[in-house]
Amino acid sequence: MCASAASSESDAILQCIQAVRADLALLVGQGSLADYIPELAKVDPSKFGIAVATVDGRVLSAGDADEPFSVQSISKVFALTLALGKVGDALWKRVGREPSGTAFNSIVQLEHERGLPRNPFINAGAIVVTDVLLAGHQPKEAIGEMVRFVRSLADDETIAIDPSVAESEKAHGFRNAALASFMKSWGNLVHPVELTLGVYFHSCALAMSCAQLARAGLFLANGGRSPLTGLNVVSRARARRINALMLTCGHYDGSGDFAFRVGLPGKSGVGGGILAIVPGVAAIAVWSPGLDVHGNSLVGTRALELITQRMGWSIFGP
């Protein structure tokens, strides 16, 4: 693309996200905070940020896009990428690839399916993925590897874990402990429950801004290669498949509705963030802490819906 076309595209994106932010101003603050993790209940519900990182390396942002927040389950995308790099398709013997249709922390389905989680983006699946990341490591090393990976993706050494969020989740993580213990009883967890959960909680407690998240997710929009660093993170085929899983499973039992309204692969977190991928074009990150009944950002989803409509970015057609 010539320089003037690229800059007019950037202008269009910037105008779009600024307009969306203004249009949704009155909705901000709606939804509920993830108070089952007490530290997340302290977040200011009026925060609202949007960042778009394009495959030609530009980052456009609006609102609170440079303020770090708790990425929570968005980290499951990075954990999955790392785990696939370690064990490849062998991962699919321990985790499925089907939408769950149940809540992110549901135990019902897990009992039915004998400790084999439906997909890597529900909590049970991500706990198994984390167990894979622990192989051959002490928990601290596995956590360090995750942080280094995300820093290298975003090309930003300042990204860190918020220890108070990790502690808060550990102190109240009874549901996750139940899921992990249940899977352990079926032999689908290799390491001790406490160790795997410790790494899982720390991964969820990564603090990143919308701009950092959009940059970190850019390899998925660019056939597996980061345009920021030139790093081949995954093959084209793997990037496509991670995107497919984000589309079908990235929003728990709200995944169908997200595909219907937004039309992009996406992954939400109960910190109120969403990372969405426009293949071949851009990665988008939004943050607004108020959640809908499924635990997905209410205003963040609406913002993505408006952005994809206005930019013609749905993967299902302009």
Chain centroid to CA 3: how far? 32
Q: Should residue 161 be labelled a site residue for ligand GLU when binding is judged by CB under 6 A? A: no
Number of alpha helices (DSSP H) and beta strands (DSSP E) in the chain: 12, 8
CB of 36 to ligand GLU, least distance (A): 7
Please list the residues that pair with 61 across neighbouring strands: 51
User: In the complex with ligand GLU, which residue's Cβ is closer, 75 or 81?
Assistant: 75
Q: Should residue 203 be labelled a site residue for ligand GLU when binding is judged by CB under 6 A? A: no
Question: What are the φ/ψ torsions at residue 192 (nearest 5 degrees)?
Answer: -60, 140
CA angle 195, 144, 204 (to 5 degrees): 65
Residue 73: DSSP 8-state: G
Contacts of 198 (CB under 8 A, 6+ apart): 139, 170
CB of 223 to ligand GLU, least distance (A): 27
Site string for ligand GLU, 99-138 (x = CB under 6 A): -----xx-----------------x---------------
Residue 8 among the catalytic residues: no
User: In the complex with ligand GLU, which residue's Cβ is closer, 54 or 73?
Assistant: 73
CB of 30 to ligand GLU, least distance (A): 18
User: In the complex with ligand GLU, which residue's Cβ is closer, 39 or 305?
Assistant: 39
Which member of 52, 59, 270, 286 is catalytic?
A: 270
Intra-chain end-to-end CA distance of the chain, in Å: 20
Q: Report the alpha-carbon distance of residue 295 to residue 271 in Å, rounded.
A: 9
Which member of 73, 168, 203, 255 is catalytic?
A: 73
Q: For residues 272 and 210, is the Cβ–Cβ distance under 8 A?
A: no
Q: Should residue 255 be labelled a site residue for ligand GLU when binding is judged by CB under 6 A? A: no
CB of 202 to ligand GLU, least distance (A): 10
Mind giving me the DSSP string for 107-126? -HHHHHTTT--S-TTSHHHH
| Pick from 131, 91, 99, 135: nearest CA to 118 | 99
User: In the complex with ligand GLU, which residue's Cβ is closer, 54 or 176?
Assistant: 176
Q: Should residue 176 be labelled a site residue for ligand GLU when binding is judged by CB under 6 A? A: yes
Mind giving me the DSSP string for 236-284? HHHHHHHHHHHHHHTTGGGHHHHHHHT-S-EEE-TTSEEEEEETTTEEE
Residue 20 among the catalytic residues: no
Q: Should residue 73 be labelled a site residue for ligand GLU when binding is judged by CB under 6 A? A: yes
Buried/exposed 11-46: b ≥16 CB within 10 Å, e otherwise: eebeebbeebbeebeeebbebebbebbebbeebebe
Residue 36 among the catalytic residues: no
Q: Should residue 246 be labelled a site residue for ligand GLU when binding is judged by CB under 6 A? A: no
Tokens read off for 64: 């609170």
User: In the complex with ligand GLU, which residue's Cβ is closer, 16 or 165?
Assistant: 165
User: In the complex with ligand GLU, which residue's Cβ is closer, 123 or 243?
Assistant: 123
CB of 261 to ligand GLU, least distance (A): 18
Which of 199, 204, 228, 281 touches ligand GLU by CB under 6 A?
A: 204
Q: Should residue 314 be labelled a site residue for ligand GLU when binding is judged by CB under 6 A? A: no
Q: Should residue 254 be labelled a site residue for ligand GLU when binding is judged by CB under 6 A? A: no
User: In the complex with ligand GLU, which residue's Cβ is closer, 217 or 279?
Assistant: 217
The owner of tokens 């302009």 is 318
Which member of 47, 77, 100, 200 is catalytic?
A: 200
Give the binding site for ligand GLU (CB under 6 A). 72-73, 104-105, 123, 169, 176, 204, 269-270, 295
User: Looking at the annotation, which residues are catalytic?
Assistant: 73, 76, 200, 252, 270
